[in-house]
Structure 1
């Protein structure tokens, strides 16, 4: 009897209610982690405090370091500070933010706190998902899952950075050009809530889109899709890339942002196809070694 057979029999012996309880337990832990981190970003501010080391001569002080210190503040929280950073760094000169609805600043802080909470709890989310699905996986599937945790986090961060440093500034400048072309009768303004929600949507959507090579490599790694299939159907991959670009784009830039995102995702598709090819070769080598041992 193989190890896999023993694991399956062990899982089959457990009633469905036990699996549901385990799932509820893991989801509860994820929600608690999200809630705690959300409250930190939503209700606590961050300030760098200088720590001084006494200098023995002439009563001078020597700066040792700047230590980040959290303090309770709803109106100067980390999310509010980050909103200010978005406004100063992303908003082009000539565009003004306005408050259209009474609770726009509150919703803006909420959106940013939620994004930061999801981003920082990704390791906990992955760990809980892993703890739930690991008993039903083969050994090589467990190794594959462990090996993609850090790349998944890195690709999400790269996707968000791509949106923050390239897509969002480009989008806002195009909007400013359109507004300027209409003449002095139109003043270039943006609603605060609309601005923050658009920025957060692009950060999350682009971050998730950058997981494409990892998803392709993972499907090939577990034997679901062959690498040659990705290469043969590259036209469909490019088409889907541009469809995704059309979905996540704000759609107010005359197709420029959609084209940039589509080309980027198409490039990631080909990178994923190459990664799948290397992973398939690795699987074949491992299979040959296993057969040689037998």
Structure 2
């Protein structure tokens, strides 16, 4: 009876700690959302600018749902609040799992969080400033005569959120490669030998997550391949550094 009670207490403590960390993360998002809501219309205008800039004169987006003009900017504000508080959310996750990590693993957490957030934001910026202008200009150029390019604002938001997520995750490839190598799951030789498969998989994923035009697919697949090579390069350099340190010690 005492053994079962001792086992139950740590479990309850872990669940309480998990709840506390989730509450901290949710509170961060909620407070940021409250601060951002007054600027929801401006945020949506910023998000819609890549498409609005290529629409014909006297043409605008449309709202096919009565509540869309209110809820779509609110969704943008929620997305912005989540992104702004992403470092805090990742920190809360780290604080929950940190007690179970070794000291050398804990040293990797800070650069891991920093690089993950930076790369995710870089992927979104790449999508917004490079991919969207090229893609929407292409779509506007191939619109048939007599067809008005008037996009529903809710569908537009869902479309760009999918691409933001795809490019954000794509830019996390170096982090995934380095983690798999440092944890001993995938050796450097396997990463180097997997290059042909990575190229094929990159274009398959690009075809799934981007619109059915070759330009958008290339703009997603090429960064994925380059970032994979960057991760392999970092693994090779860190491996050489560790071997050099071992030789020096001996």
Partner of 1:38: 33
Q: Does 1:22 align with 2:29?
A: no
Query: Structure 1, unaligned stretches of length 5 or more?
Result: 1-11, 45-77
Q: Do the aligned partners of 2:50 and 2:132 also contact (CA within 8 Å) in 1?
A: no
How many residues align? The count is 241
- Equivalent residue number for residue 208 of structure 2: 247
Q: Residue 4 of structure 2 corresponds to which residue in structure 1?
A: none
Is the 2:177–2:232 Cα contact (8 Å) retained in structure 1?
yes
Structure with greater helix percent: 2
Structure 1 residue 278 corresponds to structure 2 residue 237: yes
More strand by share: 1
Match of 1:164 in 2: 128
Write out per-residue CA displacement over residues 18-43 of structure 1, whole angstroms, 9 at most, x where no aligned residue. 2222112111211121122122222x
Higher radius of gyration, 1 or 2: 1
TM-score norm. by structure 2 comes to 0.87
Cα distance change on mapping 1:282 and 1:24 into 2, 3 Å: farther
The higher-RCO structure (CA 8 Å, 6+ apart) is: 2
Contact 2:55 2:149 in 1 (8 A): no
For residues 265 and 172 of structure 1, the distance between their equivalents in structure 2, rounded to whole angstroms, comes to: 21
Give the TM-score of the pair, scaled to structure 1: 0.75
What is aligned with 1:269?
Answer: 228
Q: CA deviation at 1:159?
A: 0.5
* Paired residues of 2:50 and 2:136 also in contact (CA < 8 A): no
Partner of residue 93, structure 1: 55
Map of 2:162 onto structure 1:
201
Q: Which residue of the partner structure matches residue 122 of structure 1? A: 86
Q: Distance in 2 between matches of 1:214 and 1:107?
A: 35
Q: Give the secondary structure class of the aligned counterpart of 1:216.
A: helix
Question: What stretches of structure 2 of length at least 5 have no aligned partner?
Answer: 1-6
Counterpart-to-counterpart distance in 2, 1:177 and 1:205: 24
Instruction: Tell me the distance in 2 between the aligned counterparts of 1:14 and 1:213.
Output: 39
3-state secondary structure, aligned to 1:190: coil
Residues 41-80 of structure 1 mapped to structure 2, 5 A cutoff = 41-42=36-37, 44=38, 78-80=39-41
Query: C-alpha separation between the residues in 2 aligned to 1:88 and 1:274?
Result: 37
Equivalent in the alignment of 1:155: 119
Matches of 2:113 and 2:92 in 1, distance apart?
A: 12
Compared CA separation, residues 175 and 209, structure 1 to 2 (3 A): same
| Superposed displacement of residue 285, structure 1 | 4.8
- After superposition, the C-alpha distances for 1:216-275 in whole angstroms (9 at most, x for unaligned) are 1122122222122111111221222223222321x24x2321122111211111111111
- The answer to which of 196-205 and 115-124 deviates more is 196-205
Counterpart secondary structure, 1:99: coil
1:235 corresponds to 2:230:
no
Distance 1:285 1:112 in 2: 49
Given that residues 32 and 81 in structure 2 are in contact (C-alpha distance below 8 angstroms), is that contact kept between their aligned partners in structure 1?
yes
Where does residue 110 of structure 2 map in the other structure?
Answer: 146
Residue pair 1:112, 1:200 contacting (<8 A) in 2 also:
no
Partner of 1:105: 69
